[in-house]
Amino acid sequence: MLELSEIDAHYGKIRVLKGISLSVKDGEIVTLIGANGAGKTTTLKVISGILRPTAGTVNFLGKRMDHLTSKEIVRSGVCRVPEGRHVFPRMTILENLQMGAYLRREKAEMARDMEEVFEHFPILKERPGQLAGTLSGGEQQMLAIGRGLMSRPKLFLLDEPSLGLAPLMIMEIARIILEIFKRGTTILLIEQNARMALNLSHRAYVMETGKVTLEGTAKDLMNHEHVRKAYLGGSRRRWREEK
């Protein structure tokens, strides 16, 4: 579904991505793990058209898209939920969700998708007129994910969905991610909670200082000595049962 080949990206003169290559197959959850500053968010910005690569190619469903605008990329079926949620605070829950569908025109399908979002997040359905800025952090994350789903993505890019959330809310977000996947959406995930991310995913890439240093099945990386020491606290304890 998605293939990045030898991607370089810069912020000014600083080379942030250094020949990144990775792929996501249809019907997978793939995760990128790595320390802050490793280049994970920059990778998602390149995929979603926020940042142009200075070398390499991005292909989605067999078509090159590193030259497309963000609007064109969303229209093609790729949606990114950014780190930090970035809901529209002075707009209502309903208005935020409607903004997720701003490129769409098919009202009947949009209404069905809105109901599906409310099935994922019943708490949002209870308060459609509440201003997004008055929601808790966890509720804002639900809203950000719901807004992304309103674009009807084929590939969903999730950037740190559990960041800053309480443990119980992290478990809820993990459950929602699996539910979205089971309903047919392919997911590329960045997640600070590496144990959670690996347990949710089929395959994973480890990024360090702008390069992919390890890749493999999530199970294999969970048992890799470097991954355990650097990202899992050195423990083999599982975050949850196998999905």
Q: Is residue 242 pLDDT above 70, yes or no? A: no
> Which tokens in the block code for residue 240?
């949850």
Confidence of residue 238 (pLDDT cuts 50, 70, 90): very low
By C-alpha distance, which of 2, 4, 6 is closest to 55? Answer: 6
- Taking residue 127's Cβ as centre, other Cβ atoms within 10 Å add up to 14
Give, as one character, the DSSP assignment of residue 78. Answer: E
Per-domain residue ranges of the chain: 1-77+153-167+183-243, 87-151
Instruction: Look at residue 31 and tell me whether its pLDDT is greater than 60.
Output: yes
CA of residue 167 relative to chain centroid, distance: 19
The 10s digit of each residue's pLDDT in 156-183 is: 999 999 888 888 889 999 999 999 999 9
In the predicted model, what is the mean pLDDT of residues 45-73? 96
Looking at the predicted structure, is the pLDDT value of residue 241 above 80? no
Q: What is the pLDDT of residue 240?
A: 44
Q: Tell me how far apart the alpha carbons of residues 1 and 28 are, in angstroms, rounded to a whole number.
A: 10
Give the three-class secondary structure for 11. Answer: strand
Taking the alpha carbons at both ends of the chain, their separation in whole angstroms is 23
Distance CA 233, CA 243 (A): 22
Q: What is the DSSP string of 163-231?
A: TT--HHHHHHHHHHHHHHHHTT-EEEEE-S-HHHHHHH-SEEEEEETTEEEEEEEHHHHHT-HHHHHHH
Yes or no: say if 206 and 30 are a contact pair by the CB < 8 Å rule: no
Question: Is the separation of the CB atoms in 132 and 93 below 8 Å?
Answer: yes
Task: Specify the fold of 1-77+153-167+183-243.
Answer: Rossmann fold (3.40.50)
* Span 179-220, pLDDT tens digits: 999 999 999 999 989 999 999 999 999 999 999 999 999 999
pTM of the model: 0.91
Mean pLDDT for the stretch of residues 105-122? 92
How far is 158 from 189, CA to CA, in rounded Å?
5
Contact 159, 128 (CB under 8 A): no
- Per-residue pLDDT of 77-95, as tens digits, reads 999 999 988 999 999 999 9
